[in-house]
Amino acid sequence: MLRIAQALDTQLREAMQRAFPEVDALLDPQLVPASKPEFGDFQANGALPLAKPLKQAPRQIAAAIVMALKADSAFTALCLEPQIAGPGFINLTIRPERLAAELATRLGDQRLGVPAVENAAPVVVDFSSPNIAKEMHVGHLRSTIIGDSLARVLEFRGHPVLRLNHVGDWGTQFGMLITHLKQVAPETLSTADAVDLGDLVAFYREAKKRFDDDEAFQVKSREEVVKLQGADPLTLKAWGLLCDQSRREFQKIYNRLDIRLSERGESFYNPLLPGVIEGLKDAELLITDDGAQCVFLQGVIGKDGKPLPVIVQKRDGGFNYATTDLAAIRYRFASIPDGDAARRVIYVTDAGQANHFAGVFQVAERAGWIPEGARLQHVPFGLVQGEDGKKLKTRSGDTVRLRDLLDESVERAEADLRRRLEEEGRQETESFIQLVAGTVGLAAVKYADLSQNRITNYQFSFDRMLALQGNTAPYLLYAVVRIAGIARKGGDLDVATAQLQFNEPQEWSLVRELLKFDAVIAEVEEELLPNRLCSYLFELSQVFNRFYDQIPVLKAQSDALSSRLALCRLTADTLKSGLGLLGIATLERM
């Protein structure tokens, strides 16, 4: 109802200005969706804050606003008689014929009423970000699917989105890995595809153990770091092999989850790090403290009562994560051809990095590297916990591998499907079973995560996320399947509808719910909270299921039939679109 809400807001402002021109600067309708259906569609609360400056009772002010509204023919064509409630709220109900007309426009609109953003500018979404030679684990789940969902919403709104995977592909640990590779598999450096390194996690552990136990290996590893930084050809080749092998393993997960990413690791920004130091010097922010180059934060005090520093160059001349992140910020906001020319940069990482990003963002702001009007945002998220409320781990205490978690969800979905098929006496092909189990299993994992407020921790439960009832992916998928079932029973969902006619309250409830989609998408775009979209889709599914259970769609006659089929079609389109923005595929049968 974005267009209706915008028109209503304009009409309210004009009515308030006509009624109270003397306080023009204070006029704000405070228009919000009604909290309950019995209050109408919208509620204007703008009369209450005017009581003090006007020295009148809020209900008296509301009455004057309503009188001015009723003199506006555009308003009376849009709304029924306004109602004043409580201390001075104005409840507004949109005329049924206007709701039906708005719904009709969405039937032929692939965007389902969601307007494309004006003056679109590039957006960078930095998400996933695993480390080379370390397997993706459950800790990468939230960054990967939250980042992907936000990117999808922003793309749908019309923003050019650069999806960046800021992988950890540089640093001192590579000296250890390269030394181990050269010693245990030297043939990989001279013969193409000579050896598959196998489990990179095991390889990493072997190298780490040698580094911890063997002083000579430590010395050699540090020498390899110097060679890597100096672009030694053989060392660079070993580094490239390690990165390529990790990249292939990462891509298997991304393909499975339908995630698109452009890799730009820490190594990309390595040549830009000296420029960060020079830029901070030019901005007169850099201070030498105990041999390290630092920027001291404003308004952030340590336990000793002194401002906390952001170290950008260590005493030994080395750089750190803060330096790389500052280089990335400069590059992402820089104008083409020297950068991405982004106007909004979004980092999707765990909440534990909030202080790090707050410090880096402040330094970038003070250095003048964030253009006027541009936005730099950290999107934090909480931990994935076990049902005991503790960090999710395997029985042996190890971090849960992401591929194992996905496998188990699909296996459980398959077992549940086979059980239901047996109970119902249904015969289905093996390909159907694998398709449904794979779709439901992955959808359940994604939706269980995205439906939570990302800021909080959440408890992972296969039983809850795979349930056919409640706020789960299977429940939403089943609503789509129900509508497909109507089509299989002879309901033509593409039937042309000359005029929509609705008489039942269940029909009007579904109409109103469908018209909320555009406002929800705009809210997610701004607030970066995918759970708002999940909540909407769940509510839409509930409203549709009540409509389906109580209103005989296929038994209706003529115009009533076509109107109800139109509601079914738009519900399916909205659910498919919304789930698609969450990265979730739908099914015709389950």
User: At 582, phi and psi to the nearest 5?
Assistant: -90, 0
Give me the domain span that covers residue 43: 2-94
Token output for 314: 């260590």
> Which of 259, 291, 310 is a domain's end point?
259
Strand partners for 126: 164, 347
Q: Any idea what DSSP says for residue 502?
A: -
Domain-located, residue 377: no
Domain-located, residue 237: yes
pTM: 0.92
Confidence of residue 274 (pLDDT cuts 50, 70, 90): very high
Q: Nearest-CA neighbor of 455 among 537, 377, 379?
A: 379
Model confidence pLDDT, tens digit, residues 313-324: 988 888 889 999
Q: Which of the two residues, 117 and 557, has the higher pLDDT score? A: 117
Q: What is the mean pLDDT of the chain?
A: 92
Domain-located, residue 210: yes
Percent of the chain with pLDDT over 90: 74
Q: How far is CA 289 from CA 64, 163, 296, 310, 364, in A?
A: 65, 37, 10, 11, 20
> Which of 259, 289, 312 is a domain's end point?
259
Q: Which amino acid is at 121?
A: A
3-class DSSP string for 110-164: CCCCCCCCCCCCCEEEECCCCECCCCCECHHHHHHHHHHHHHHHHHHHCCCEEEE
Q: Nearest-CA neighbor of 346 among 494, 172, 151, 540?
A: 151
When pLDDT is averaged across residues 151-167 and rounded to a whole number, the result is: 97
Q: Nearest-CA neighbor of 70 among 92, 101, 98?
A: 92
Q: Determine the Cα–Cα distance for residues 134 and 132; give it in Å rounded to an integer.
A: 5
Domain count for the chain: 2
Domain-located, residue 248: yes
Domain-located, residue 86: yes
Domain-located, residue 331: no
Q: Determine the Cα–Cα distance for residues 312 and 321; give it in Å rounded to an integer.
A: 8
Q: Any idea what DSSP says for residue 340?
A: -
| Interacting residues of 23 by C-beta distance below 8 A, sequence separation 6+ | 50, 53, 54
Angle at 130 between CA 149 and CA 351, to 5 degrees: 65
When pLDDT is averaged across residues 2-22 and rounded to a whole number, the result is: 93
Model confidence pLDDT, tens digit, residues 526-581: 999 999 999 999 999 999 999 999 998 888 777 788 899 999 999 999 999 999 99
Confidence of residue 336 (pLDDT cuts 50, 70, 90): low
> Which of 38, 67, 94 is a domain's end point?
94
What's the CATH code of the domain at 72? Answer: 3.30.1360.70
3-class DSSP string for 4-27: HHHHHHHHHHHHHHHHCHHHHHHC
For residues 351-390, one letter each, b for 16 or more C-beta atoms within 10 angstroms of the residue's C-beta and e for the rest, the string is: beeeebbebbbbbbebbebbeeeeebebbbbbbbbeeeee
* pLDDT at residue 430 tops 90: yes
Per-residue confidence (pLDDT) for residue 194, from 0 to 100: 46
Domain-located, residue 211: yes
Model confidence pLDDT, tens digit, residues 463-498: 999 999 999 999 999 999 999 999 888 767 776 565
Per-residue confidence (pLDDT) for residue 9, from 0 to 100: 96
When pLDDT is averaged across residues 77-92 and rounded to a whole number, the result is: 95
Model confidence pLDDT, tens digit, residues 173-232: 899 999 998 998 888 787 655 446 566 778 888 999 999 999 999 999 989 988 988 889
Q: Determine the Cα–Cα distance for residues 122 and 374; give it in Å rounded to an integer.
A: 10
Query: Residue 304, exposed/middle/buried by CB under 10 A (0-12, 13-18, 19+)?
Result: exposed
Domain-located, residue 424: no
When pLDDT is averaged across residues 105-117 and rounded to a whole number, the result is: 92
